[in-house]
Amino acid sequence: MDYIHLRDMQFYGYHGVLKEENVLGQRFRATVSLAVDIHKAGLTDELDDTVSYVGVYDLCKEVIEGKPYKLIEAVAETVATKILESYQGQVLGVKVEIIKPDPPIPGHYREVAVEITRGRFYE
């Protein structure tokens, strides 16, 4: 299996349980890994034979900077679902990590994150 990775994308969104998070917003980071077969693209050097990471970035941006969700679990699930729907026949599986670097909880920590793996290989 081959993979395309989009690592540490950064966005500004309004996700969270607390009202302040929905009003003020905050930074989010995302890493997406796509399970794909890119052998043909490696031979032909043609964009049509692979998945455009520009399109995947745009899809992630649309979800993370769009409609507010209470949970980053829902953000990750939406990103994964939209990628699999948009790239049927190309993306066999997807791993999505959504990172909330500054959640409004007291204490000392680097970040909180969720990571999910979804794909047609589970069907």
* Cα–Cα dist 60/51, whole Å: 14
* Cα–Cα dist 39/97, whole Å: 25
- Residue 88 belongs to domain with CATH number: 3.30.1130.10
Q: In what order do the strands lie in the sheet with 112-119?
A: 2-13, 26-36, 91-100, 112-119
* Cα–Cα dist 91/34, whole Å: 6
pTM: 0.93
Number of domains in the chain: 1
Closest-CA residue to 75 (of 60, 57, 53):
60
Per-residue pLDDT of the chain (123 residues; tens, 9 = 90+): 899 999 999 999 999 999 999 999 999 999 999 999 999 999 999 999 999 999 999 999 999 999 999 999 999 999 999 999 999 999 999 999 999 998 888 888 889 999 999 997 544
Contact (CB, 8 A) for 115 and 76: yes
Active site residues: 100
Identify the domain containing residue 88 by its residue range.
Answer: 2-122
Rg of the Cα atoms in the chain:
16
